[in-house]
Structures are given as structure tokens and as C-alpha cells.
Amino acid sequence: MENVNQREVTEEEMIDQEFQELLNSYLATKHRKRVEIITKAFNFANQAHKGIKRRSGEPYIMHPLAVAKIVCNEIGLGSTSICAALLHDVVEDTDYTIEDIENIFGPKIAQIVDGLTKISGGIFGDRASEQAENFKKLLLTMSNDVRVILIKIADRLHNMRTLGSMLPNKQYKIAGETLYIYAPLANRLGLYKVKTELENLSFKYEHPEEYREIEEKLNATSAVREKVFQDFTAPIIAQLNKMGLKYHILARVKSIYSIWNKMQTKHVPFEEIYDLLAVRIIFEPRKLDEELNDCFDIYVTISKIYKPHPDRLRDWVSHPKANGYQALHVTLMGNNGQWIEVQIRSERMNDVAEQGFAAHWKYKDGGGGEDEGELEKWLRTIKEILDDPQPDAMDFLDTIKLNLFASEIFVFTPKGELKTMPQNSTALDFAFSLHTDIGCHCIGAQVNHKLVPLSHKLQSGDQVEILTSKSQRVQPQWLTFATTARARSKVAAILRKDRKTYQKEGEEILNEFLKAEEIQPEATVIGKLCKLHNIKNEEEFLIAIGNKSIVLGESDKNELKEKPGANWKKYLTFSFGGGNKEKTEEKEPQEKEKIDTKEILILTEESIRNNYLMAECCHPIPGDDVLGYIDENERVIIHKRQCPVAAKLKSSYGNRIIATEWDTHKSLSFLVYIYINGIDRMGLLNEITQVISRRLGVNIRKLNLETNDGIFEGKFQLYVHDVEDVKAICNNLLKIPGVKSVTRVEE
């Protein structure tokens, strides 16, 4: 009995200590000191969650406390948000209602807690349609109060930090969802540090070995980086001191996730990533209104010491990004012959870069006002998409995602007004951003006074004039031209409307045609005509008639005239075919075994041959980090964890994901693609094939090598047993003189 009491006392002490740390952090901020209401929220939440444990074994209240600390320290919000963070699980997990919260803490805190309750349990439900509904809820609550989503991101960050205590399949679901939605959301709201940590943690759980490898290599090269940093910054420090500025210089090392991402997209090994180190100069402006001038003065000073790269000056100072980010980025040639990026920011700009929109509030008069100008624009775009619900939830998510990930370009109207557009925007996107009517009737554009098609990609600094015509209609191929969420959703909605109109017209034309021929409009009749015109279903057939791409005529009449003996044949085919089908359908469910998604699936040679399918999109092989997905037909499909299709599945159908492990013994062969490049010379191809076929005994399915100006690159398709084989092939090929890089690629 004594032990139990002892443990309870220790837990209470631990909880009180955590709360005291939260209060100390809050008291150190510039916010008004409303300690009383925070203490009240803590006591209320502590009482409500009493006796409840998290999966890790610690008291449940430690989670809301940790989220409140993130909200206070890492996002920089005030007492209202801290209280809402402490109370965020009370309504969902206990008997208290939103009305109780409102009576005790007032309407503002209650409204935020209500927003958080509506989107709890992960954004995504079990089915895609629910997922889209929940996502809409999330965005609608965001538009009422942006603090809802900031606290939700803090909640997700703490869940990711404590993900180790979850089951593996839950880990993949949560990590996938984080990469797919939360990291881009954090980025769009300007929470750069949070975004980076969310990406890194997701990567750590999805690819533990690669994470560890990169981490070890970063540690091994840290001393060299430190020396480069010291040598590079010494003359800069001397000059900044002469300018009489208050400043500090930091070394910023590229995150593990972005290093891995670059290795994947550029097909280069760790050793060939040269922008691992960036330098950040953070200064206090000499006068508040001199902030911008100081940035450029520092730039001029340091570019006298080192040569700047002519194409790599990024001026986010004069034109902040849509998430509020401001800085001047310049790339300089260091004495070691490598380009080093220098980011120049004031203290205010640095706060905005790390805490995003939350930091803007800090710099408003009195620290209490809240201004989200750019965010408002973004939320308006989202509301427009929500006003036009789309049938396919995954499409809905993708459109949103396009806007989340996009970085910005700046374009001008003919009158010289500046407009911010996502990168890769086309003339068509620009037309829809001006007005839906302009978008619907646009026929082309003049960019910098030159005529261009609607698919033309815009560049920063372009001046764009849209040309319209009243007779123009929205075309199906416009969906491939549109990249912004607004344009895509508008085009899709108009096309859907047009399809319905055409379908109706097509139905009327077909009925009149059949009536004239005295034929009943039965399913078999329409089926025959679809087959004749090679169209897959009735709907598409009617649309084709309606938009005049099919004109019914003599060939249709001939097809519909009964052929002798057709009747009995048709009857027999139907009855025998139908009977067999019913029998097989009765039998099939008994063969399917129910798969428990909580257990880890072991992939053996036999199960791969008989039960499971390897995904075509990413071609996993033994040794890859993989997961299983149970599709609608109860088949298990094995995907690589980083495969983009798997990322969607994790986010949308998390409950169908199973953790999987390999247990194969080099008896099965799998197809892999290897990319190779280097400096060309005589006999090189022979050496490469010798290493693969003779020395390693690997079968080559296809080989494609080409050289250009002394450089060669190529792709192989090889049959291997597992990842170990791939490593052996890559390592052996790298030993051949002239070969610079060898990597496994998707295709």
C-alpha cells in the first residue's frame, strides 16, 4: 500500500513541476500576465483527467501540459491559447461539455476548444469521404480562429515526439498523415522549426536505418563543418563589428529529412550534398524604420568579402512570402571553393520565420492584437473550394495540398498591381485568380506583351494580360493546365455541370432516334451502341451524343436490326454466364481470411508467391522499409513506406495499414532499377556488365547507356533477391574508375 502512495506522490510532484515550468515560460514572454486563468485551466484539466494514463504509462495530464508548453515556447501564443491547449481533450475524453467550458472560462476559450474537439482523433476518418469531411471541418474551424490549427499542430508535434510507445502500424499511419498534411500546414503558417521537426520525426519512424545513417554521417563531418563555419565567418564578423551593429551569427545545418529528400530527387550520395551548411546573420536594426536598409547594407558589406552567385539572390525582404517569411538570402563563394548560403534577418524577421503568424501578434501594438492579412487570403481560397464540394475526397485533399506546398511567384496586372501566385502557376490559373468569369472565357494571354497559350507557366516579374472571348467554353484539357486549387476546382465544377447538360441533351437525341426506328430504349440496345462506338459506359455515350462528337446514323440502325438466331444465343449466354458467376461469388468470401491489422505481417517466400502483391508504383524488394495495405477485395498490397501512393493510403485509410517485416532467404527474384553516371572511357560498358553478371551473378533484364560530351549515364533493370544485393552492386560498381554515382531509382 505504501508503494502505491509513494508512486502517487511522485506523479503529483512530476505534474506540479511540469506546470511550474509552463508558468515560468509564460511569465518570461511579453504577453499580459494572466496566471490566474491558466492555473484555473490546469486545475480543471488535472481533475478531469485524474487517474487516466497514456499508452506510455505516464499520467494523461502530462500530454495537455506538454502541448501547452509547445504553444507557449515554440509557437509564442498567449494565455487564451495556453488554456485551450490545457483543456483540448477534456470535452472529448470526459463527461464535461462545451457549455461547461464556456460557463467557467468564457466564450473565446470554449470556441477554440470546440474547434479542437471537432477535429480530434486525427484529421482522417476510416473512409475517404469522412476524411474529406473532417478536413473541411479543420479548415472551417481554422477560418474562425487560426489558433485552433496552431494548437492542433502543437498537439501533433507532441504526439510525434512520443510516437515510440505506439504500435508499428499506428506509427506509419500517424507519420504518413503528418508528412501529408501537418508538416505542409506548419510550413504554410510559417512555423519553419516545427515543420522541420515534424518531417524529421516522420522520417525517423518510417525509415529508421536511413535516418541513423545520415545522422551518423552528419556527426562524423561536424568538426569539418565547424572549421568551415569559423573560417568563413571570421572576416564577416570583423566587417559587421565595424558597422557597429548588434547581431549574432549561427550555423544552420540542413535537416536529416531534407538531406534524404535531396539524395532521392537528385540521385546523389550524402557526400555530394554541398549545401549542408548555411549561415544565418540575425541583427537588431539601428532604427525600426531602417530594418530593410540594414539588410541590404549587410549584403553589400559581405559581398565585398566573398563573390556572390549572380542568380541566387532571394529578396524576401521587399516581397515577403505568403506565410509572412522575410529574409535576404545570398549565396557566396567561400575560400574552400564551395557555395555557402547566407540568410540575413532582423530579430523580428527571425521570430516570424520560426513562429510564423503567431509572431506577427507579438509585434502588434500592445501584443494582444491579431493580424493575419496574408493568411486571410489563403483561408478565402480554401473557403471557395469548400463552397463547391467535390465528389472525390482524395481529389479534394490533393487540391488543398497543391496550395499548401506551393512557394510563391510575383506577377503584375497590366495596370501594375502586384499579385502573389503559387509557383508553377499558368496563365489559366492567373485568369481564375482575377475572376471566375474571366477564367471561363479566356482564350489566351499576353505575357510581357507576347502572345502565349493558357498552359504557359508564369515566372516572377511577368506582366500578364488575359484575353477573353464570350464564345469560349471551358475545355476538359484545362484540368491539365490548372495548377492552383481555385482554378482546378472551378474548372472541374464547370465541366461537371457541362457533362450533366450534355448527358441530358444526349438522352433526348437518343430517345428521338430510337423512337423513329420503333426500338425500345433498353439497356441491351444502349450496350450494343456503346460497343459499336467503343465507349465504356452509357453515361459517356450520352455525353458524346450531347456534345455532337457522335452523330447517330445508318451504322447504328444496322447494328440494332435483329440478326437471325440471335435471340436464343443471347439467352443461353446470359443464363449460363450468369449462373457461373453467382456460384463463384458465393464461394469466394469463405476463402478470404480476416487479417488482423494490429499484428505484424511476416513476408515469407510462400506468402509472397500466394497471398500478397508487390505494388507496381514502387516495386518493393526484401530489405526495403515496407508496409501492407488491405484493399477493398481484402488483398494485401506491399508498398515502400516512402512511396507517394502509400503516403496517401496512410493518411486516408490508416486502419487498413499493417506493419510488415521480411523473412525471405534469397530464393525469389525481384526487379530493380539502377541509375549510374560518370566519366566515359573505352571499355567501360564491358567492365560494368562483368561486375554485374560475372562477379555478382546478377541477371540483367535491360540496359540503357548513353554518353554526351564525355559524360555517361544509364539505367539497368536487374533481378535481385533483396536490398543487400543492391548495396553490393552499387558498392562494386562505384569501385570502377570513372563511375561517379550509382543509386537505386523507382523506374
Q: Which residues are catalytic?
A: 92-93
- Residues 6 or more apart from 598 whose CB is under 8 A from it? 167, 169
**H or E element that contains 226:** helix 222-243
3-state DSSP call for residue 305?
A: helix
Assess contact for 175 and 183: CB atoms under 8 A: no
Cell digits of residue 300: 553589400
The phi, psi pair for 159, rounded to 5°, reads -60, -40
Assess contact for 189 and 681: CB atoms under 8 A: no
- Residues 6 or more apart from 120 whose CB is under 8 A from it? 88, 89, 92
3-state DSSP call for residue 244?
A: coil
Radius of gyration of the chain (CA): 31
Cell digits of residue 505: 441533351
First CA to last CA distance, the chain? 64
Rounded to whole angstroms, the Cα distance separating 440 from 487 reads 10
Question: Which is it for strands 657-662 and 670-679: parallel, antiparallel or unpaired?
Answer: unpaired
Rounded to whole angstroms, the Cα distance separating 19 from 12 reads 11
3-state DSSP call for residue 602?
A: strand
Cell digits of residue 319: 516581397
- Residues 6 or more apart from 425 whose CB is under 8 A from it? 409, 411, 433, 457, 458, 483, 484
The DSSP letter of residue 721 is S
| Nearest one of 252, 142, 249, 147 to 196, comparing CA atoms | 252
What's the distance, CA 30 to chain centroid?
34
Rounded to whole angstroms, the Cα distance separating 206 from 627 reads 10
Cell digits of residue 254: 540542413
**H or E element that contains 101:** helix 98-105
Cell digits of residue 460: 516572377
Rounded to whole angstroms, the Cα distance separating 267 from 281 reads 31
Residue type, 418: L
* HSE toward the beta carbon, residue 66, CA cutoff 13 A: 17
| Nearest one of 584, 639, 646, 636 to 611, comparing CA atoms | 636
Assess contact for 600 and 659: CB atoms under 8 A: yes
Cell digits of residue 74: 515554440
Rounded to whole angstroms, the Cα distance separating 344 from 317 reads 9
Question: Which is it for strands 314-315 and 307-308: parallel, antiparallel or unpaired?
Answer: unpaired
Assess contact for 270 and 216: CB atoms under 8 A: no
Which residue shows C-alpha cell 541509375?
A: 675
